[in-house]
Copies of this chain bind each other. A is one copy, B any other.
Amino acid sequence: MSLLAREGIDAVRVEPLAERLGVTKGSFYWHFKDRAALHAAMLEAWRGVATYEIIARLEAGGPSAEERLRRLIEPTASRGKAGRLETAIRSWAHNDAAAAKVVAGIDEERIAYVAQLLREMGIDPETALLRTKILYLALIGSFFAAQSDQLQAGPELWKEIMRLIK
C-alpha cells in the first residue's frame, strides 16, 4: 500500500515486491493468482478503511456539525499518508473499472454523511446535497490541483467555502 501511495499502481510489481521481501517472485503466485489479484485485494483493503477513516476524522471534531465540517477540509487532508493513497487510487480508477467502482461507493457514503451534517445545520435537504457535492468536488480537486503557491488551497479558501455554504 505504501508503494501504491508513493509511486502509483503501476509500480506495484511482482518482482520488486518479492525482492523486497527476500523471496523469489515465483512464491508470489502461491499467495495471489496474479498481479491483478493483488491489485484487487489492495482495492478491497482500501474500501474497508476509506469511509471509516474520514468519518472518524470528522467525529473527532466534536459534537457540533459545523465543527465537524471544518475537520473535513483541513488542508492537511491532501498531504498526509491517507491523502497520497487516495489520490493514487483515484488516478488508478481513471484507467480501471474495478477501482472506479470502489471509489464511487466511497464517494456516495461520504457525501451522504456530509449532506446530513449540512441538514443538521439547518439547510434544506436539496440544497444540502448540492452544496455537499460542491464541497466534496473542491476537496477532490485540491487533491489533484497543482501544489503551486497559486492554487494552494489555504485556510482562507476553505473559510470562503464555508461562508458560501452555510
Total number of A residues with any Cβ neighbor in B under 8 Å? 45
Tell whether, in the assembled complex, residue B134 and residue A161 are in contact, meaning their CB atoms are under 8 Å apart. Answer: yes
| A7 contact from B95, B108, B147, B148, Cβ within 8 A | B95
Which of B8, B95, B143 touches A95 (beta carbons < 8 Å)? B8
What residue in chain B is nearest A139 (Cβ atoms)?
Answer: B141
Main secondary structure of the interface of A (DSSP, over half): helix
Say how far A108's CB is from chain B's closest CB, in angstroms: 5
Sample of 28 A–B contacts (CB below 8 Å):
A8-B95, A90-B91, A90-B144, A91-B95, A93-B146, A100-B147, A104-B147, A104-B151, A107-B146, A107-B148, A107-B150, A108-B150, A108-B151, A111-B151, A130-B160, A131-B164, A133-B153, A134-B138, A137-B142, A137-B145, A137-B153, A138-B141, A140-B140, A140-B141, A140-B145, A143-B144, A164-B164, A164-B165
